[in-house]
Structure 1
Amino acid sequence: MRDTNHYDAIVVGAGFGGLYALRKLRDDLRLKVRLFDKASGVGGTWHWNRYPGALSDTETFVYCYSNDKDLLQEWDFNTRYITQPQVLRYLEYVADRWNLRDDIQLNTGVTKAHFDESANLWEVATDTGESYTAKFIVTALGLLSATNVPDFKGLQSFQGDWYHTGNWPQGVSLEGKRVGVIGTGSTGIQVITAIAPEVGHLTVFQRSPQYSVPVGNGPVSPTYVKLVKTYYDEIWDQVKDSTVAFGFRESSVPAMSVSEEERKAIFQKAWDLGGGFRFMFETFADIATNEEANKCAQDFIKAKIAEIVKNPATALKLMPKDLYAKRPLCDSGYYATYNRDNVELVDVKENPIAEITPQGVRTEDDVEHALDVLIFATGFEAVDGNYTRVDIRGRGGEPIKEHWSNGPTSYLGIATVGFPNMFMILGPNGPFTNLPPSIETQVEWICDLIKEVHSAGLPVVEATREAEDGWTNTCREIANMTLFPKAESWIFGANTPGRPNTVMFYMAGLGEYRRQLNDVADNGYAGFVSRKGGAPTAVRAARAGFRQRPLHGSVQHASPAELGRASAG
């Protein structure tokens, strides 16, 4: 390796998290910072996911930064939901507005990050052959960035083109071609709906049918935008104290407390308005926690599938068999797409894919589906995938891949034991929410902790085993109070063969998460220690009057926010 350059902090990743971390560390803490990203431009996930139909499932007015009030007033939007090109333009504008580009090194992937215990520094190597050291490393690698391509027999023999939606090249033309799509999660639904009118024939290989509701996207008026901007302070106050942080007030009404007629009317109103999170959390308080309430939502969506899809056999294949308990999906006409003459649905749970052939995909019934293009909408090794693909080693040279061999864990979704001065943005067991406000919450809290370490002259700060185990148990307890663990989902690692099924999110909501972070800080950063002179010491004495809240409790059929309060005591 060549010359070593030293920084106070190195940030990895140029998406929402990395850009904000760079700004805070450099401008507020006055640290010398360098940000690396393997991409050719800023944007993180939104740089790579350029597939047709790519759209955020969060409404535009809250899929943005809240910390820059002038930016909130200057940046205009004209659609209810924000597409990939719009998100990318926004983040490119932010990088320029905050004068970040001089401190960003693109086309540079981090290949190694080893903690040097003798020097209390991180040694970082890149794929450009350069090496660096830093006191702190902040990872903004993204929840959904490490692409998951199933190991199908014969894939390399395929004579057509194949792509993964998470690494979509520019200039792809699908017009008039025979296209196959494997995967019907959020991305699959978006790409299927977008390309069906363009391709010659579309074959959808479905493993798990999905509950999806209309997204309700469309233009918004200048009056709407002006109103949002007028009330942004109140909007962000509500978002940061809410459960899912999607810009609406979650319902407090149990589904079974109203008549069947009223329930259907409420569901219909939500269906007409659009939005997956709105349908699950704005209609009733207990869809995610009460099986009876959940069944009502299931039945409503299934009735819509039967109503929309003209072929009864196809409609039946599209009806989910499990609970409505995954990240709630929304679409721009997904079910109606199957009424098109050029669209075919193959149920690969009933009739699995045997192999990829030079001409297409052969299923176990010995039918070969001829294709020119194969698209993998098979998701990601979510949460920890990008960590285990980098050679990250903590104390004693322990690789993070071994540290997480039984599933990824953390303290507060921010730190993991044995990896000092390493802070994760959206690490395992962070909040299950709209991401930008959670990212801001974590970045601001991480920067406060780093400032504390600097002002106290401490060499390192790290999470304790007891704190990490306690947080993991808390996240598991809260998840088990919901219905989410009962459905196979990427949010528990179920989309990747051989991966342990594990809780990977704090599901009590952003408001409760922020209260937990505040309590930790008020208690002298409880659960973190430094090692000044070799012996573990507290980061800071607790503030007077703080009462440690025990992690305990059990609540049946409660809202996610109530679950968090029960778990926190």
Structure 2
Amino acid sequence: MVAKSDTELDAVIVGAGFAGIHMLNSLMSLGYSAIVLEAGDEVGGTWNWNRYPGARCDTESMFYSYGFSEALQQEWNWSERYPKQPEILSYAKHVVERFNLSNNIKFNTRVININWNKKNRKWGLETEEGERISANFCIMATGCLSSPNYPNIEGLDDFEGEIYHTGRWPKYDVVFDNKNIAVIGNGSSGIQAITEIAKTASLLNIFQRTPNYVVPAHNRRLDAQEVADIKSNYSILREKAKETYSGNFFESGGPSALAVSLDERMTEYESRWNNGGLCFMAAYDDLQFNAEANKTAAEFIENKIREIVKDKKTADKLIPKNSFGCKRLCVASGYYETFNLSNVNLVDLNENPLKRVTHNSINAGDSEYKTDLIVLATGFDAMTGALNKINISGIDGSLKEKWENGPKSYLGLMSHNFPNLFTITGPGSPSVLTNMMTSIEQHVEWISTCLKYMQSNRFTCIEPHLKAENTWMEHSNSLAGDSLRITCNSWYLGANIPGKKRVFMPYIGGVPTYRKKCEEEVLSDYSGFIFN
């Protein structure tokens, strides 16, 4: 049964997305009393909140799924190469039902305070409704992209039309027909929404600050034989994926884009463009570290933009100025083609700064754009936003205070002075640079193994050594410093949030290196941690 006020449990999980669901199932299978507290009205996390038109995953469906249950991965059938939001949400609900998890998930429950009790060495959680729960372990499954970033635009509150944020899209159908639509922002969410909204809007004005690299999805229905082949080799394919940098089943085209001839390089890029998806990132191993190599990929996509977009001035505005992959690579169907439509207009905010919103328009530069509906595709306070919204107090101060100058953790799993508090895919782990399902499963497995170790050795508390944490952060920051990913203002650095310290938050060393480090911790009896 769902816990009531003043309940004591072995563990509380915050968040019922894919991380929280899997963690709950794992804890229950180990015999722990556990509950998930979820702010939303159903499971799914990202895929419950992000319901905007065109929302779909950019990781292929056959591998954007759990691998912990052979029966589950054999029985579930995906319909498309890249699944739409409703299908992903249905999958999450199916998992909850299949493993009988619903009675241990409490919805519409927002956690506001999490405090470490030094006397009984337990976490005390408090919800908005005043409910209090005590637990030995607290596991944060709040997600990396779950705290929407609402822009501070003068006059936005005066707008009398409809306003929607892609990260908090309503469940009802939003009508775009016969309306002048404004989309502010063109990251992954904006790009997906734009291609759909353009199909029915009378006029679509796209307000762009920074152009992004976009590769085609080439989405399609899955062939039955293809699905059968993958299912018969699932375990082998998943293990191979873990050996790749991003945890996706992408084969590298070679160590360096500069070590091959121009013809070979163009053939490789063309093949990956035609295949579609994020595999373009894996074309060559040095694209994120060698500026000259990176330039070859950037120029290839620039030429594609010029081939597709008919108006030269518009094409010029759509060509990114930063290095390829510096910001998250976007995947969409027909994005650049959308700008050939007569009802689509691109507003470059570098040339025409957004001044203010009135009751029925947006003023940018010297122009006024009459608007009926505004879509805010302005992204998220990534990695740390959801955690910092909760007052988490440890042995000596709050997590928000400790992370004021950037997140500090060991392996992205725990932070010194916050015993028994785990963060699934937290900052300092590969997380958003990988197939999230691969990273989620690895963290859940690691935490579960750790808890079993503690139980068998009769330990009640665990936290990382400060030295281990500092060494890990130095290592992580050093790797990021050698990468081209830090050369532009991206949400990886928190650059989209005013006042947020610029620190590259995910671990950039890749899945194999990271997994090896985590495995070494287990084999060394968790030498980087303090037990008592």
Q: Deviations over 1:341-391 (max 9, x none)?
A: 11110111222111111112111x232111111111110000010011111
Partner residue of 2:189? 187
1:34 corresponds to which letter in structure 2?
I
Gaps of 5+ in 2: none
Report how far residue 426 of structure 1 moved. Answer: 1.1
Match of 1:429 in 2: 428
What is the alpha-carbon distance in structure 1 between the residues aligned to residue 28 and residue 78 of structure 2?
29
Query: For residue 417 of structure 1, what is the aligned residue in structure 2?
Result: 416
**For 1:316-346, what per-residue CA distance to the aligned partner results, in whole angstroms no more than 9, with x for missing partners?**
0111111112222211011110111111101
Q: What is the CA distance between 1:147 and its match in structure 2?
A: 0.3
Paired residue type of 2:171: Q
Pairs within 5 Å for 1:5-404: 5-27=7-29, 29-171=30-172, 172-275=174-277, 277-281=278-282, 283-324=283-324, 325-363=326-364, 365-396=365-396, 398-404=397-403
User: Which secondary structure state, in structure 1, belongs to the residue aligned with residue 352 of structure 2?
Assistant: coil
Query: 1:141 deviation in Å?
Result: 0.1
CA deviation vs aligned residue, 1:126-179 (integer Å, no higher than 9, x gap): 122211100000010000000001111111101111111000002221222111
1:459-493 residue CA offsets vs partner (Å, 9 max, x unmatched):
21111211111111111111122211112211111
Give distance in 2, aligned partners of 1:456 and 1:291.
50
SS, match of residue 226 in structure 1: helix
1:241 and 1:512 in contact (8 A); partners too: no
Match of 1:509 in 2: 510
Output the CA distance in 1 between the equivalents of 2:73 and 2:460: 38
Tell me the residue number matched to 2:404. 405
Tell me the secondary structure at the aligned position of residue 60 of structure 1. coil
Secondary structure of the 1:138 match is strand
Inter-partner Cα distance in structure 1 for 2:462 and 2:281: 39
- Cross-structure match for 1:545: none
State the secondary structure of the residue aligned to 1:257. Answer: coil
Partner of 1:457: 458
> How is 1:513-524 mapped onto 2 (pairs within 5 angstroms)?
513-524=514-525
- Judged with a 3 Å threshold, the aligned counterparts in structure 2 of structure 1 residues 100 and 338 are, in CA distance, closer, same or farther, namely same
- Distance (whole Å) between structure 2 residues aligned to residue 118 and residue 456 of structure 1: 21
Deviations 1:228-269 (A, max 9, x none): 101111101101222111222233331111111221111111
**2:293 alignment partner AA:** A
Q: Which is further off, 260-269 or 200-209?
A: 260-269
1:202-250 residue CA offsets vs partner (Å, 9 max, x unmatched): 0000010111110111112101100110111110110122211122223
Output the CA distance in 2 between the equivalents of 1:465 and 1:361.
Answer: 50
Q: Residue 446 of structure 1: CA displacement?
A: 0.8
Q: Secondary structure at the match of 2:530?
A: strand
- Secondary structure at the aligned position of 1:504 is classed as coil
Q: In structure 1, how many angstroms separate the alpha carbons of the residues matched to 2:362 and 2:201? A: 17
AA paired with 2:339?
Answer: Y
- Residue pair 2:253, 2:268 contacting (<8 A) in 1 also: no
Distance, in Å, in 2 between the alignment partners of 1:436 and 1:77 is: 16
How many Å separate the matches in 2 of 1:350 and 1:446? 50
Question: Is residue 409–residue 504 contact of structure 1 (8 Å, CA) maintained in 2?
Answer: no
TM (normalized to structure 1)? 0.91
Indicate the SS of the match to 1:141.
Answer: coil
Q: Please report how far the alpha carbon of residue 458 of structure 1 lies from its aligned counterpart in structure 2 after TM superposition.
A: 1.9
Letter in 1 for 2:94: Y
Partners of 1:450 and 1:343 in 2: CA distance: 54
1:467 aligned counterpart, secondary structure: helix
Deviations 1:93-133 (A, max 9, x none): 00001110011111111111100011101000112221110
SS in 1 for 2:321: coil
Query: 1:439 Cα deviation (Å)?
Result: 0.4
**Does structure 2 retain, via aligned residues, the 8 Å contact 1:180–1:202?**
yes
> 1:527 and 1:131 mapped to 2: Cα distance?
32
Q: Aligned with 1:469: secondary structure? A: helix
Q: Give distance in 1, aligned partners of 2:12 and 2:154.
A: 40
Residues 395-430 of structure 1: CA distance to partner in whole angstroms, max 9, x if unpaired? Answer: 13x121111100112100100111110000011111
More displaced 10-residue stretch of structure 1: 154-163 or 458-467:
458-467
Pick which of 409-418 and 324-333 moved more: 324-333
Q: Tell whether the 8 Å contact from 2:212 to 2:327 is kept in structure 1 after alignment.
A: no
CA RMSD of aligned residues (A): 1.1
Whole-angstrom distance in 2 between the partners of 1:258 and 1:428: 36
> SS where residue 506 of structure 1 aligns?
coil
Match of 1:561 in 2: none
In structure 1, distance between residues paired with 2:454 and 2:106: 27
One-letter identity of the residue aligned with 1:428: P
**CA offsets, 1:272-311, max 9 Å, x none?**
1101x21111x22211111111111111100111111111
Task: Give secondary structure in 1 for the equivalent of 2:59.
Answer: strand
Looking at structure 2, the residues matched to 451 and 348 of structure 1 have their Cα atoms a distance apart, in angstroms, of 54
Q: Distance in 1 between the 2:8 and 2:252 partners?
A: 47
Structure 1 alignment gaps of length 5 or more: 533-569
- Taking the aligned partners of 1:129 and 1:118, their CA distance within structure 2 comes to 22
SS at match of 1:58: coil
In structure 2, what is the Cα distance between the partners aligned to 1:3 and 1:235? 45
The alpha carbon displacement at 1:511 in A equals: 1.6
Query: 2:196 and 2:275 mapped to 1: Cα distance?
Result: 21
Q: Does the aligned pair in 2 maintain the 1:243–1:250 contact within 8 Å?
A: no
- The SS at the match of 2:204 is strand
Matched residue SS, 2:379: coil
Whole-angstrom CA distance in 2 between matches of 1:377 and 1:472: 31
Q: CA deviation at 1:78?
A: 2.3
